[in-house]
């Protein structure tokens, strides 16, 4: 006998589910379950994680040992999703029962489990979940029967737990009303509607089991066994109860609080499920029947770019080339004076050759629309008077981006590599990080939303975790320890900026914490529980910069959510959104640009003339370098920290390349490796400049033999190993992720 879990909550049923998805898939594989559904409360935050974890079970022939089933336990409004009143007395007067959840708490809607059979079902489920947040939100994201009828294709529906609408009628002893409701759902989902039967060992469930069999007999709607799993293993029950206390801000000792009344809400093996329903193997077999209806379909795809509107007579490609060439000629006019002064490293012919190479690559990779889209909203930002940064990140390596005024950094002059931005040997969406004045950022986002449609533009979710120090305080509070007790514990947890810490690491690094752990049982209990809870999803937020722009209604590609302020966001994280093929833009709000704009305004008002920053052509002002050498850099982006000021004083920069090098040096990795001291000593002749191979001198001479830049890593891989620059970029990425296999 085998079995498939079709009703299951993970950590993405926030502060209610305890199960981590990789552990879930491992357990399914170990216990012989070849399919598993994730049906978190009202959301699908975990779907990409489930897909990834199941994909890792594939054999050499590509057969997955565990099939992912994408689902959701939605909330169905008692009346309309637009009804914002929740009056259970009125509901009862209409013959509608109280909405309750498995712990007996009143809820904002009836529970219903939905599973996607195929891509059509996935789109419909995404739409339902999205509308639950954007149209039906009232305490919880809610759908209604109208939406279910409009989006039923490709979906399987199960009646869920005691919080389900059918079960509510059975609990009140009204089997006729239960039959009416069941037939109503059957009219929506047809043969893909099932009556869910559960037995987690508490009285209310067992009270209605005979009625559920009777209802199935009356209607012909098949019964299917599920377990309302909220944690992975039987011995996780008490830990789950602690998590509930954290989520509800209650104490473990409180008698009247949300709790699960038994310890049976875990991911049971097929044998354990058979023991729950002895004599009814058909209830378990039906889970396999349902799983067999569900196709394995991908939710990742190649990049998809919104259609940019082009003038009549143009294709996307021809218009892109025309704009790029025209703006390139404008840039060359600006460069003539610099060529005449001998201030540029490369000839005009090399600039033109680089442009042709990049244009050809962009066209072959299918990204002309991307460049036009970015060019358009940056141009619009400038028209609206919103200050735009000169460019950051890999996009500065593109001469096309420079030509089109997407960036203002000449990649030829600084030997920046295009392949680091757009690798012809690795098809992935370009990524342009754009800084806008903090006060004007929203204007640009509003323009993009208006231009492409409100239903196609969205923020991106971030999943915030139970971090080590915070979870220690949470657990201490649950066990009624005062703030001072918890604070004294967390003060003993070592913390370095940019370096995550765990309870286990803290116990290794802090002798005092280890001493308390070994000597005080209460401390040991709190830290042991914290260690098991740390890293779980806690809540969601909006990504500070990321914005999605889709070619069609976003719900065709991903479910949507919203935050407490009403901001709509895709339920993918930033990385997941890119893997789903969605165009992600980073609209960064930079305070420095705001201050520069204000300063320009002050100068214009006091001096009577504007200051045009774009007219600054050379970077050799002695007074400016004196200020840097003195560490007088308050208000200068990335140069105002105490550590950076100390490094500036040691180096005493007198050329622009020094400032570039300092920006690369002042990172945890280079500083920890002593590269800062090496660079400073070699720069001032106190240490000999050496190279591992003489052939590396042309690449490393500008940085005194120190490998500072990712471009240098790529050039070295190309020179020493014979890699193309595209292959060298893939090596660089693997090094950055510390991926030894790659």
Banded pLDDT at 89 (limits 50, 70, 90): very low
pLDDT of residue 613: 79
- What are the boundaries of each domain within the chain? 21-292, 316-462+541-592, 467-534, 619-708
pLDDT of residue 380: 97
pLDDT of residue 739: 61
Q: What percent of the chain has pLDDT over 90?
A: 77
The structure's pTM equals 0.87
Q: Give strand ranges (E) for 573-665.
A: 583-590
* Residue written as token pair 């339920």: 571
Answer yes or no: is pLDDT of 428 > 80.
no
Q: In the predicted model, what is the mean pLDDT of the chain?
A: 92
Mean pLDDT of the 485-490 span: 93
pLDDT of residue 566: 87
- CA distances from residue 564 to 120, 139, 455, 561 in whole angstroms, order as listed: 30, 10, 19, 10
Higher pLDDT, 163 or 614: 163
pLDDT of residue 742: 57
Instruction: Provide the 8-state DSSP code for 230.
Output: -
DSSP, collapsed to helix, strand or coil, labels residue 169 as helix
Answer yes or no: is pLDDT of 674 > 50.
yes
Give the sign of the dihedral formed by CA 401, CA 402, CA 405, CA 408: positive
Mean pLDDT of the 592-617 span: 86
* Residue partners of 23: CB distance under 8 A and separation at least 6: 232
Answer yes or no: is pLDDT of 733 > 90.
no
Answer yes or no: is pLDDT of 143 > 70.
yes
Nearest Cα residue to 73 out of 2, 150, 117, 128: 128
- Residue 638 backbone zone (phi > 0: left; psi -120 to 50: alpha; other: beta): left
Lowest mean pLDDT among 80-84, 231-235, 508-512: 80-84
CATH class of 21-292: alpha beta
CB 169 within 8 A of CB 181: yes
pLDDT of residue 304: 85
Q: How far apart are CA 135 and CA 137, in angstroms?
A: 6
- Please give the helix or strand (H or E) that residue 569 lies within, else none: strand 568-570
CB 157 within 8 A of CB 113: yes
Answer yes or no: is pLDDT of 10 > 50.
yes
Banded pLDDT at 235 (limits 50, 70, 90): very high
Instruction: Provide the 8-state DSSP code for 345.
Output: S
Banded pLDDT at 94 (limits 50, 70, 90): very low
Mean pLDDT of the 251-259 span: 91
Separate counts of helices (H) and strands (E) for the chain: 32, 13
CB 399 within 8 A of CB 418: yes
Answer yes or no: is pLDDT of 87 > 90.
no
Mean pLDDT of the 143-169 span: 97
Mean pLDDT of the 282-297 span: 96
Answer yes or no: is pLDDT of 635 > 80.
yes
Higher pLDDT, 500 or 66: 66
Output the six-digit token pair for 534. Answer: 């740390």
Answer yes or no: is pLDDT of 104 > 80.
no
* Residue partners of 573: CB distance under 8 A and separation at least 6: 48, 460, 461, 462, 463
- CA distances from residue 699 to 288, 361, 705, 714 in whole angstroms, order as listed: 61, 25, 8, 10
CATH class of 467-534: mainly alpha
Answer yes or no: is pLDDT of 107 > 90.
no
Lowest mean pLDDT among 6-15, 124-133, 693-702: 693-702
Mean pLDDT of the 646-673 span: 90
Give per-residue pLDDT as tens, 537-551: 999 999 989 999 999
Output the six-digit token pair for 220. Answer: 């012909």
Banded pLDDT at 737 (limits 50, 70, 90): low
Q: How far apart are CA 38 and CA 68, in angstroms?
A: 8
CB 132 within 8 A of CB 562: no
pLDDT of residue 135: 94
Q: What is the largest CA-CA distance in the chain?
A: 93
Identify any residues that bridge with 461 across adjacent strands, giving them in sequence order.
542
Nearest Cα residue to 401 out of 433, 442, 427, 446: 433
Nearest Cα residue to 193 out of 216, 175, 170, 168: 216
pLDDT of residue 318: 97
Give per-residue pLDDT as tens, 29-61: 999 999 999 999 999 999 999 999 999 999 999
- CA distances from residue 346 to 349, 354, 403, 414, 722 in whole angstroms, order as listed: 8, 11, 16, 10, 24
pLDDT of residue 729: 87
Answer yes or no: is pLDDT of 97 > 60.
no
Answer yes or no: is pLDDT of 90 > 50.
no
């Amino acid at each position: 006998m085998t079995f498939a879990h079709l009703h299951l909550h993970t950590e993405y049923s926030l502060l209610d589910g305890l199960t981590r998805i990789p552990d879930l898939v491992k357990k399914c594989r170990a216990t012989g379950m070849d399919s598993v559904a994730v049906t978190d409360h009202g959301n699908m935050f975990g779907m990409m994680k489930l897909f990834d974890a199941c994909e890792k079970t594939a054999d050499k022939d590509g057969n997955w040992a565990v099939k992912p089933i994408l689902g959701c336990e939605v909330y169905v409004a008692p009346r309309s999703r637009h009804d914002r009143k929740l009056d259970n007395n009125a509901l009862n007067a209409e013959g509608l029962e109280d909405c309750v959840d498995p712990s007996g708490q009143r809820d904002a809607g009836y529970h219903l489990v939905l599973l996607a059979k195929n891509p059509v079902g996935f789109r419909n489920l995404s739409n339902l979940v999205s509308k639950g947040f954007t149209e039906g939100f009232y305490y919880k994201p809610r759908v209604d029967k109208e939406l279910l009828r409009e989006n039923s294709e490709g979906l399987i529906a199960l009646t869920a737990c005691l919080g389900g609408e059918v079960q509510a009628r059975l609990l009140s002893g009204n089997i006729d009303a239960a039959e009416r409701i069941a037939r109503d759902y059957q009219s929506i989902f047809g043969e893909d509607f099932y009556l869910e039967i559960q037995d987690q060992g508490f009285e209310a469930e067992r009270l209605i089991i005979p009625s559920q069999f009777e209802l199935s007999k009356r209607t012909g709607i098949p019964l299917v066994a599920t377990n309302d799993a909220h944690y992975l293993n039987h011995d996780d029950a008490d830990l789950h109860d602690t998590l509930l206390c954290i989520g509800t801000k209650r104490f473990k000792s409180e008698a009247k609080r949300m709790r699960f009344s038994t310890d049976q809400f875990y991911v049971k093996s097929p044998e354990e499920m058979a023991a729950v329903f002895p004599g009814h193997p058909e209830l378990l077999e039906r889970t396999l029947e349902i799983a067999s209806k569900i196709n394995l379909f991908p939710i990742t795809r190649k990049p998809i770019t919104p259609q940019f509107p082009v003038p009549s007579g143009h294709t996307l490609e021809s218009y892109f080339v025309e704009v790029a060439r025209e703006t390139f000629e404008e840039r060359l006019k600006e460069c003539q004076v610099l060529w005449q002064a001998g201030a540029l490293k490369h000839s005009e012919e090399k600039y033109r050759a680089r442009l042709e190479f990049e244009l050809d690559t962009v066209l072959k990779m299918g990204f002309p629309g991307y460049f036009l889209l970015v060019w358009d909203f940056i141009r619009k930002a400038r028209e609206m008077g919103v200050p735009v940064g000169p460019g950051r990140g890999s996009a500065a390596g593109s001469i096309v981006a420079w030509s089109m005024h997407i960036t203002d950094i000449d990649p030829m002059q600084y030997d920046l590599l295009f392949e680091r931005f757009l690798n012809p040997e690795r098809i992935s969406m370009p990524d342009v990080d754009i800084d806008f004045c903090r006060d004007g950022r929203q204007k640009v986002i509003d323009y993009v939303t208006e231009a492409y449609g409100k239903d196609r533009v969205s923020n991106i979710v971030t999943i915030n975790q139970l971090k080590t120090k915070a979870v220690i305080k949470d657990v201490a509070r649950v066990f009624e320890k005062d703030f001072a007790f918890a604070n004294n514990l967390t003060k003993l947890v070592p913390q370095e900026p940019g370096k995550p810490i765990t309870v286990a690491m803290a116990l290794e690094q802090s002798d005092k914490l280890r001493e308390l752990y070994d000597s005080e049982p209460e401390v040991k209990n709190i830290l042991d529980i914290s260690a098991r809870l740390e890293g779980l999803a806690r809540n969601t937020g909006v990504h500070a910069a990321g914005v999605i722009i889709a070619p069609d209604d976003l719900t065709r590609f991903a479910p949507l959510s919203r935050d407490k302020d009403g901001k709509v966001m895709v339920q993918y994280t930033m990385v997941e959104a890119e893997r789903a093929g969605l165009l992600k833009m980073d609209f960064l709000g930079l305070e420095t640009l705001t201050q520069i704009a204000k300063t320009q305004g002050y100068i214009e008002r006091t001096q009577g003339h504007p200051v045009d920053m774009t007219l600054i052509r050379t970077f050799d002002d002695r007074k400016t370098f004196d200020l840097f050498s003195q560490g007088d850099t308050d208000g200068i982006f990335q140069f105002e920290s105490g550590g950076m000021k100390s490094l500036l004083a040691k180096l005493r920069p007198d050329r622009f390349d020094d400032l570039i090098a300092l920006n690369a040096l002042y990172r945890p990795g280079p500083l920890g490796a002593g590269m800062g001291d090496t660079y400073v000593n070699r720069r001032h002749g106190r240490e000999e400049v050496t190279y591992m191979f003489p052939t590396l001198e042309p690449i490393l001479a500008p940085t005194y033999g120190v490998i500072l830049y990712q471009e240098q890593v790529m050039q070295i891989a190309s020179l020493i190993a014979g890699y193309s620059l595209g292959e060298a970029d893939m090596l660089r990425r693997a090094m950055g992720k510390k991926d030894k296999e790659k």
